[in-house]
Each structure stands twice: as structure tokens, then as C-alpha cells.
């Protein structure tokens, strides 16, 4: 393993000028979680730097989005020539650093391998933010991920679980990995009464889920849990906020959402369930969360290492009940929420009923969650991300750290935390 000079890291404290950043990622008006995240990262860094950064937007064939003026170029996901053209544009740009938002499905090729075509042509240092890190990779996934990290000066992950996977499943040198917790809006902790009225549900106990909807969300298991909850809490209702994920809608139409509506009717709870089928603005999401008493995420992926929806719920000081993914286990530790086993409606019902029946415990959990969420507001995210950008400049200038090598056995702070409360055998 190559050793980095101690002077490299000491010099970081002397770097005061905010580097000029060029962002690469999907971008609104495209409707996807990465697009929203890229927009929010750019806004937070712009506010900190006092400048307006440019964007290269990643889209799909046939997209005709009306991008804002800050978008100076676009990549067609499945067109190799567009990656080469984007690289030329990036190299000619005045930016010091490229900030790349990465999700395997965002890029063309097997396991998103076309991202490597872009990175191989760049002459500027790259900070890559990984939104998915999968355990036990197959040969192709391992090769693509290692090359992606190798061609990035610094890799940012949004949880300690992601860092752990990169070190021990991919062999990435920990010195080039930075953990920056997912950013969230700065939301005052407020009583829910006003926001319940805005939803048209005054004096109701609201259980909610929001986000882009698809089969991976596991909503059917929550529906199966609701009759037991409703029998004990006659004022409770369930609100599902968000449209079907565009890629799922293109492939399957509204089949999943229609199956949920059908199941609600079969369970006899259709009059206490509301499905709001549209894309929500950040302001609408926050208002809905502030009206919520218990936020539930019954998602089915145990390997999820980041979730914007869970992060937003914590930022709003909501009680969260979630299936025990890697990210939920980390975010909801130390009394910040409750985890339950996957595909277990009985455990969901027990957890929701437990917090609704104990107002004192619910209030305590809300405060603990909200206090932790203050660490994640976009202003703090920007400060931490700036550190990753300065590290990118320093490591790129010295070529001190390779991606690969036998990682040292390091303590991972996020994995030392006391586990979240759990119901069932999560």
C-alpha cells in the first residue's frame, strides 16, 4: 500500500479557497431521487461558496427536459458518444473539481460501466458520491466499482455502512473514502395540528409513507398490518404520498399501485387509506411529514445504504418504523426509531401500535430523532462535503493514495452505536 505523506493531510487545514465545482448527475425537472439530491447538493455548496456552479445532466434516450440555465450539457445514458462529448466539455470548463453523483442504473452499460468511459477521459480530479454499495459483488460489479473508485480522487458515501462495504467487500483504501451523512432540509420542530388541517385530516392520527413508488417499497406488507392498527386506533388513517417511479411506470404502467388499491378494498380499509399519486415538491414532503405521527418504511432491500425518505423523516422529528436495512439500522440507532423484520406485517402492526399507544415514548423518540437530524441539515452537509473537495485537491496533487490494497482493520463509528429498538426478529 502506498503511504500518504502526513504533510498532505496537514495541508488540508490551510486550503481556504472554495474550489470551483462542476456537478454531474441527473437533475430536475427529471423526477428521480438522484436528481433531487444533485440539486440540493449544488444549492448547499453554492450557498457556502457564494457562487453558482454548472451542471452536466444525465438523462435517458428520448428525454426532452426543460433544464435550467445552470445545466450546460447533457449525457444520454445509452449513447457512448455523449459521454465523450461531455468529457470534452468538462475538460474545457473552468472548474477545479468534478462532483459526480453515482447510481449504477443512472449510467448505460452493464452495471453502469459507461461511467468509466466518462471518467477515463477527464483531466480534472473527481469526487464521486456513491448512492448504492452492494455486498458480495459479482465479478462485473466488483470490477466496475473498483475502477470507479480508482478513477476518483475521493469517494463519498452517505453512511458508515457504505464505507464498511467499500473497504471489506471491494478492497478500497479507506483513506480516500469520506462519510458525509445524507443532507436534509432545515425544519423547525413543530406541532402537527396545522399541517394535519392542510392535508384535510384534522384531528386524525396519520401514518404515512412517501417517495417514488414501486414493488421494492413493500407497501403491501404495511396494508396487511393496518387492520390491526385501525382496530385499536379508530382515528388513524394511512397516507401514501408519491407517484409511481417513472421507470416502473414506463415498464408496468400503474399495475403495482392498482394492486395496492385492490388489496385495500379487500381488507376493508379503503375509506381509511389515501393514495396521492403525484410527484411532491420538497415543501410538500416536509408539510406532509410534519402532519405525520408515525412514518413507516416497509422497503424490501436489506442492502440499502442510504434513504432520502428516512433521512427527511428524521429531520422532521417523526417517529420512524422501518424494515431493518443497513441504513435504517444505522440511522435509527440509539433510540431514534424502530426496526422490524422484512415482509412481516405482524411486526409492523405491533411496532406502530406500540408507539401510538405510548405518547410519552413517542415524544421522546421524536426529540432524539430531531436532534440527530440537525447534524444532517444541508448547511452542515456542505461543510463536510467541502472537506471532501479539499481532500480531492490534495490527493490529486500528490497521487498519494491508490484505491486498492489490504485495508487496515478500522473501527467504524456508525457500527458501534447502540442498535435501534426492534420488533420481531429484525
Q: Within the chain, which residue ranges are assigned CATH 3.40.50.2000?
A: 6-183+378-414, 193-374
**pTM, to two decimals:** 0.89
For residue 64, name the pLDDT band (cuts at 50, 70, 90). confident
Summarised one tens digit per residue, pLDDT across range 174-202 is 999 999 999 999 999 888 889 999 999 99
**Amino acid 397: pLDDT:** 52
For residue 418, name the pLDDT band (cuts at 50, 70, 90). low
d(CA 310, CA 177): 23
**Amino acid 63: pLDDT:** 78
**Among all chains, which residue has been given the C-alpha cell 410527484?**
279
**Amino acid 88: pLDDT:** 97
**Amino acid 396: pLDDT:** 74
Burial class (CB in 10 A: 0-12, 13-18, 19+), 175: buried
For residue 287, name the pLDDT band (cuts at 50, 70, 90). very high
Examine the pLDDT at 114 and tell me if it is beyond 90: yes
| CATH top-level class of 6-183+378-414 | alpha beta
Alpha helices for 233-304 (secondary structure H): 246-252, 255-266, 282-290
**Amino acid 425: pLDDT:** 62
Residue 232 three-state SS? helix
d(CA 255, CA 215): 10
Fold classified for 193-374: Rossmann fold (3.40.50)
Average pLDDT for 102-129: 96
Amino acid at each position: 500500500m502506498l503511504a500518504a505523506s502526513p504533510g498532505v493531510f496537514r495541508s488540508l487545514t490551510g486550503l481556504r479557497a472554495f474550489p470551483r465545482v462542476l456537478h454531474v448527475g441527473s437533475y430536475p425537472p427529471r423526477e428521480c431521487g438522484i436528481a433531487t439530491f444533485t440539486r440540493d447538493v449544488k444549492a448547499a455548496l453554492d450557498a457556502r461558496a457564494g457562487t453558482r456552479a454548472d451542471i452536466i445532466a444525465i438523462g435517458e434516450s428520448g428525454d426532452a427536459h426543460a433544464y435550467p440555465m445552470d445545466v450546460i450539457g447533457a449525457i444520454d445514458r445509452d449513447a457512448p458518444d455523449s459521454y465523450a462529448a461531455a468529457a470534452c466539455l468538462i475538460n474545457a470548463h473552468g472548474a477545479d473539481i468534478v462532483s459526480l453523483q453515482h447510481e449504477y442504473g443512472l449510467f448505460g452499460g452493464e452495471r453502469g460501466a459507461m461511467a468509466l468511459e466518462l471518467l477515463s477521459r477527464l483531466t480534472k480530479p473527481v469526487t464521486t458520491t456513491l448512492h448504492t454499495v452492494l455486498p458480495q459483488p459479482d465479478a462485473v460489479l466488483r470490477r466496475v466499482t473498483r475502477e470507479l473508485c480508482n478513477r476518483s480522487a475521493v469517494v463519498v458515501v452517505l453512511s458508515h455502512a457504505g464505507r464498511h462495504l467499500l473497504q471489506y467487500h471491494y478492497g478500497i483504501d479507506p483513506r480516500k473514502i469520506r462519510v458525509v451523512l445524507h443532507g436534509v432540509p432545515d425544519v423547525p420542530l413543530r406541532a402537527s395540528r396545522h399541517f394535519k388541517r392542510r392535508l384535510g385530516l384534522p384531528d386524525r392520527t396519520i401514518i404515512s409513507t412517501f417517495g417514488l413508488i414501486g414493488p421494492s417499497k413493500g407497501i403491501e406488507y404495511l396494508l396487511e398490518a393496518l387492520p390491526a392498527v385501525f382496530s385499536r386506533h379508530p382515528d388513524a388513517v394511512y397516507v401514501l404520498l408519491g407517484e409511481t417511479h417513472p421507470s416502473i411506470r414506463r415498464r408496468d404502467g400503474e399495475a403495482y399501485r392498482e394492486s395496492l388499491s385492490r388489496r385495500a378494498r379487500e381488507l376493508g380499509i379503503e375509506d381509511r387509506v389515501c393514495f396521492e399519486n403525484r410527484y411532491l415538491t420538497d415543501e410538500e414532503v416536509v408539510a406532509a411529514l410534519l402532519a405525520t405521527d408515525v412514518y413507516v418504511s416497509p422497503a424490501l432491500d436489506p442492502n440499502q445504504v442510504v434513504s432520502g425518505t428516512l433521512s427527511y423523516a428524521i429531520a422532521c422529528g417523526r417517529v420512524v418504523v422501518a424494515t431493518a436495512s443497513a441504513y435504517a439500522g444505522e440511522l435509527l440507532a440509539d433510540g431514534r426509531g424502530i426496526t422490524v423484520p422484512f415482509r412481516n406485517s405482524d411486526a409492523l402492526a405491533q411496532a406502530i401500535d406500540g408507539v401510538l399507544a405510548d405518547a410519552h415514548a413517542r415524544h421522546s423518540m421524536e426529540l432524539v430523532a430531531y436532534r440527530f437530524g440537525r447534524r444532517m441539515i444541508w448547511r452542515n452537509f456542505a461543510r463536510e462535503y467541502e472537506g471532501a473537495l479539499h481532500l480531492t485537491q490534495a490527493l490529486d496533487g500528490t497521487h498519494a493514495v491508490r484505491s486498492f490494497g489490504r485495508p487496515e482493520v478500522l473501527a467504524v463509528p456508525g457500527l458501534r452505536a447502540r442498535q435501534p429498538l426492534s420488533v420481531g426478529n429484525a
